[in-house]
Amino acid sequence: MTPISVISFPSPHDWPLWVAQELGFFDRNQIAVSLTQTADSKFQLAGLIDGKFDVAMTGIDNVVAYMEGQGEAPTQASPDIFAFMGASNKAFLRLVTVPEVTRVADLKGKQVSVDALTTGYAFVLRKLLEEGGLAPSDVEFVSVGGLRQRYQALMEKKQAGTLLISPMHVAAQKSGFNILANAEDVLGPYQASVGAARRDWARHNRAALVGYIRAYMDAIAWLRNPANEARAIAMLGKNMPGMTEPMAAQAYEVLLNPENGLDPRAPIDIEGIATVLALRSEYAEPRKSLSEAGKYYDLQYHTDAISLGSNGFGN
């Protein structure tokens, strides 16, 4: 067994990782995966770059930011990270606001929360606000942390709005909060989360990384098999304390939708990366014109995983 330390944000998007752990998909690929949950992208990316973790399930915007010297957290090592597979090719991002805010214009003069101020999905939020007629100076951006922290802060009305990923926006909506915008409608193709690693670690652990990708793809295939729905929903509830069965069922409907849910091929959307680069070119500091998507991903390991085919565990 080759050990792989993975760091991710605690959310239903970790579902394939929990499946692969519980059903032994990682074990059968000769890897032992330990999963650490992060409170924010700063801890996550610094840990990945400095070698404390081998793999990060993170937004590709974070990969680009740290490779371009635009990351928020200081690192001891020089960043040399890349995306090796897609995790979510749909942004699944919604602008969600407190019940009192029914239009984007109503956010003027109020606080909105992000993970980090200059990475992750912060620039997606800025674009949604701009499309709604607000300048960045019209609101106060507050760094709160990952999905769970932003969701809780919004429920407590500490901020007036934030970006939530599916299916958490559904839970907020059922509590009377408002969904004002869908990122996909505004941005078009957007590569959201990916699997990322250091290039030197990947070179020295090729078989393990290929096995990780295969196990991840098999886990999504297992999740999308209707025969496994009840067990999958129970597994999500076990790993997300506080998530009710109806919420877990809603998560299954959204994230495992055959048309636009999690894809068992784990592809990277090159056009979606172009959108990420366009947003960073517009908003990030120091200003850079970014257009070479190929700098930030390498699909050789993914290609190997595809060529080997399924382990057959996803049925």
CATH 3.40.190.10 domain residues, the chain = 2-90+191-243+259-308, 93-187
- Tell me, what's the pLDDT at 314? 56
Q: Choose among 25, 6, 74: nearest CA to 211.
A: 25
Span between the terminal Cα atoms of the chain, in Å? 24
pLDDT band at residue 246 using 50, 70 and 90 as cut-offs:
confident
Q: Cα–Cα distance between 16 and 146 in angstroms, integer?
A: 19
| CA-based R_g, the chain, Å | 19
- Give the Cβ contact number of residue 49 at 10 Å: 23
Do the beta carbons of residue 33 and residue 212 sit within 8 Å? yes
pLDDT band at residue 310 using 50, 70 and 90 as cut-offs:
low
pTM of the predicted protein model = 0.91
The backbone region for 268, taken as left when phi is positive above 0, alpha when psi lies in -120 to 50, beta otherwise, is beta
- Res 81 pLDDT > 90: yes
Q: For the domain bounded by 93-187, which CATH number is listed?
A: 3.40.190.10
- Provide mean pLDDT across the span 117-128: 89
Phi, psi of 188 (to 5 degrees): 80, -150
Do the beta carbons of residue 183 and residue 93 sit within 8 Å? yes
- Domain 2-90+191-243+259-308 fold is D-Maltodextrin-Binding Protein; domain 2 (3.40.190)
